[in-house]
Structure formats: C-alpha cells, structure tokens
Amino acid sequence: MADNYPVPRPLRSSRSRVTNGRELLPGLDGRSKWARRLHDLVANHVIDLGGATHVTQSQFALIRAAATTTIVLEKWELQFATEGTINMADLLGYQTTLNSLRRVLETLGLNRVDPAANTAPALDLTKFTDAELHRFNALMHKADEIGADRMAMTEVNEMQKLIDKSRGWGVGPSISDRAHRRRPFNEIDYSEQGR
C-alpha cells in the first residue's frame, strides 16, 4: 500500500494549479464576485489558524468547505432580506447548513492562533568596532553560502564570540570560575575555547 500511495511532485510546473496555490478550485475564474469572496474567506481563515505554515492540507480542505458554506449562507440571508418572507423549508435548510458550518469551524478551532513570534534575540551591531563588523558580515556571508557546519571551527568560534558580544552575554568560563555558564560577555575567558 505505501508503495502505491502518491507522493508530492517535486517540480512546481508539474503540479496542478490548485496544488501550487494559483487557483482555489480547478477551472475557477478568480474574477467573479463569488471567487473573490471565497478567496478572501479562505485567506482570513488561514490567518486565523496562524498562517499558511501552520495549516495542514486537511485543515485547508475544511477551510475551503467552510468558506463555500459561508457564501451559500450569505446568499440565503440576502434572499431572506430582499423577499421579506421566509418559507419553512428554506429556514430549515439554512439552519441545517449553518449547523454544518458550526461543526466544521469547531473542528478547525474557533479561537484565533497568532503566528509564533520571532524569539531570536536581537543583535546590537553598534557594539562592534568597524573591523569586527566587517569580519562579522564576512563570516555570516560565508555561513549563508556554505553553511555553518562546513566552516572551520575557528571561524564558527569567532562568529559565536561576535554574536555573544553583540548580545552583551554568552556562555563560558571566566578567569576565576572555570564553569561554563551564562555570564556577561566581558567576564568570559575565550582563550581556552579556541576563540
């Protein structure tokens, strides 16, 4: 069974327009009022769940169904408002559809999920001398190009020392206390760490 299960296609050009996010539904002209409303509702639901990186394919299918159901309910509401009267069959159909939407939304979660905040500590590059700033930029460029895991250990240690300096703290021993622990940057003895 696992050998026969479809796997995602690697190339963007060989995948469907729906898979690539270029269309919400196959063959749907995105310029109609209905398509624009569907797009807006789907986008808002995705944002409510923390953004595209936090939404699974299953959740996305439910989001699209919820958006479609919402539009159907809105059309019914418009009909009720313009006609001024509601027959029992339409009211029961509306309530049944509304209840289905409620169950889908409960499955997705009714509370808004904020995207994870960037918890990476800010670097204060003003603490560097001109030479340190130039060296830091060169090391960061090299890490971006080849990856930090492929850099020489001395370069990685040098980069870590500069990052520690920009933060004002780091982890390491001091002259009087050889334990590796968090301490202010100016107390760390980098000589034994090969830094």
| 61 and 20 within one domain | yes
Residue 147 lies in a domain: yes
Task: Compute and round to an integer the Cα radius of gyration of the chain.
Answer: 28
Q: How far is CA 65 from each of CA 38, 68, 71, 109, 144, rounded to the nearest angstrom?
A: 10, 5, 10, 14, 41
| 147 and 52 within one domain | no
| 104 and 10 within one domain | yes
| 100 and 12 within one domain | yes
Q: Which residues pair with 169 in a beta bridge?
A: 184
Q: With CA atoms as reference, report the closest residue to 143 among 124, 130, 157, 126.
A: 157
Query: Does 122 have pLDDT greater than 50?
Result: yes
Q: How far is CA 153 from each of CA 53, 89, 158, 170, 181, rounded to the nearest angstrom?
A: 34, 75, 8, 18, 21
| 164 and 69 within one domain | no
Quote the pLDDT of residue 77: 93
For residue 134, what are its two tokens? 């130039």
Residue 115 lies in a domain: no
Higher pLDDT pick, 128 / 62: 62
Calculate the CA 61 to chain-centre distance.
18
Residue 117 lies in a domain: no
Residue 170 lies in a domain: yes
- Mean local confidence (pLDDT), 74-78: 93
Quote the pLDDT of residue 182: 84
Quote the pLDDT of residue 188: 84
Quote the pLDDT of residue 127: 87
Backbone angles phi, psi at 41, to 5 degrees: -65, -45
Give the residue numbers spanning the domain of 11.
2-108
Among 39, 73, 108, give the residue marking a domain's end.
108
Higher pLDDT pick, 126 / 10: 126
| 9 and 94 within one domain | yes
Residue 119 lies in a domain: no
Percent of the chain with pLDDT over 90: 30
pLDDT for 100-116, tens place per residue? 999 999 999 887 777 66
| 149 and 53 within one domain | no
Residue 58 lies in a domain: yes
pTM beyond cutoff 0.75: no
pLDDT for 18-50, tens place per residue? 555 556 666 666 678 888 898 899 989 988 888
| 171 and 141 within one domain | yes
Among 50, 76, 108, give the residue marking a domain's end.
108
Higher pLDDT pick, 183 / 93: 93
pLDDT for 129-167, tens place per residue? 999 999 999 998 888 888 888 889 889 888 888 988 888
- Mean local confidence (pLDDT), 46-56: 86
| 98 and 131 within one domain | no
Least confident of 8-12, 30-34, 70-74, 164-168: 8-12
DSSP conformational letter for 183: E
Number of structural domains (the chain) is 2
For residue 191, what are its two tokens? 């000589």
Query: Using 50, 70 and 90 to split pLDDT, how confident is the model at 194?
Result: very low
Residue 11 lies in a domain: yes
| 171 and 135 within one domain | yes
| 101 and 25 within one domain | yes
| 145 and 87 within one domain | no
Measured distance between the N- and C-terminal CA atoms of the chain, rounded to whole angstroms: 54
